[in-house]
Chains A and B, each alone.
Chain A
Amino acid sequence: MREQLITKDTIADPRTRYGAAKASTRHFMTQRVTGAINIVFLLLLLFVVVRLAGADRAGAVALIGTPWIGLPLALLIVNVAIHIRNGMRDVLEDYFAGSTYTLLMTLTTLFSVVVGALGALCVLKLVFWG
């Protein structure tokens, strides 16, 4: 892909939709909402990790397999994946542009989807199948 030639006119004209200002309000709000929810995630994670320190697999399955712990945990893992993708976008936007940015953002999306889905599915497996 050829890089677009950036002039002052390109940047000044909102119709070119140049730069990061395409959906930035949504990105801003998403990052704050998921970030606030992540505080809940950290408290739940601390509770789970502290309870399971040194426990065997049976103990882990008993605790994470409890629906009122496992189901919120699965949702919060998805929330973390969204926050990671959105936050990585903030960083990538500042240091990369054009096709390099697109490639790195695609890899970020891939990472978030694969790791987030894997984590949530493993928790759901423990909840429903032990």
Chain B
Amino acid sequence: MAMSIVHRATGIANAAGFVLLVLWLVAAAAGDPMFGAVNGLFGSWFGQLVLFGFTWSLTHHMLGGIRHFIWDTGAMMEPGRREAIAWATLVGSVVITLVIWLVFVWVG
């Protein structure tokens, strides 16, 4: 129930994040001044915060989608198991997001 709402909320958030990706591509196509400006915006502390949230939102929505693929086969629908798989998507999304940022941003 709650996970259904989160799946929808992250889906809408991903649509907003998609605008950020396209903004970055427009800037890359436009030229150096705009690319520098957008990179500066995304590199600021607020930009990094938004991108971190976007990473989690994408990861959570992807795992939610995989959960739906599993449910489509009829598996993991039983009481208890469906709660377990819901928790797995939540914990998994946080772990994957932290690993991505740890490996590629904070350390790399």
Contacts and interface: CB of A to CB of B under 8 A. Distances in A.
A pairs with B = yes
Interface of A: 32, 35-36, 38-39, 42, 45-46, 50, 53-54, 56-57, 60-61, 64, 77, 80-81, 84, 87-88, 90-91, 111, 115, 118-119, 121-123, 125-126
A84 B8 contact: no
9 contacts: A32-B68, A38-B62, A39-B65, A53-B104, A90-B8, A91-B11, A115-B18, A126-B25, A126-B28
Contacts of B31: 57
Q: Is the interface of A mostly helix, strand, loop or mixed?
A: helix
B15 interface: yes
A46 B35 contact: no
B58 to A, nearest CB: 6
Nearest to A65: B28
| Interface SS of B by simple majority | helix
A36 B69 contact: yes
B2 interface: no
Contact of B35 (A53, A57, A84, A91): A57
Interface string B28-66: 110110011000000100000000000000100010011
Contacts of B29: 121-123, 125-126
Contacts of B68: 32, 35
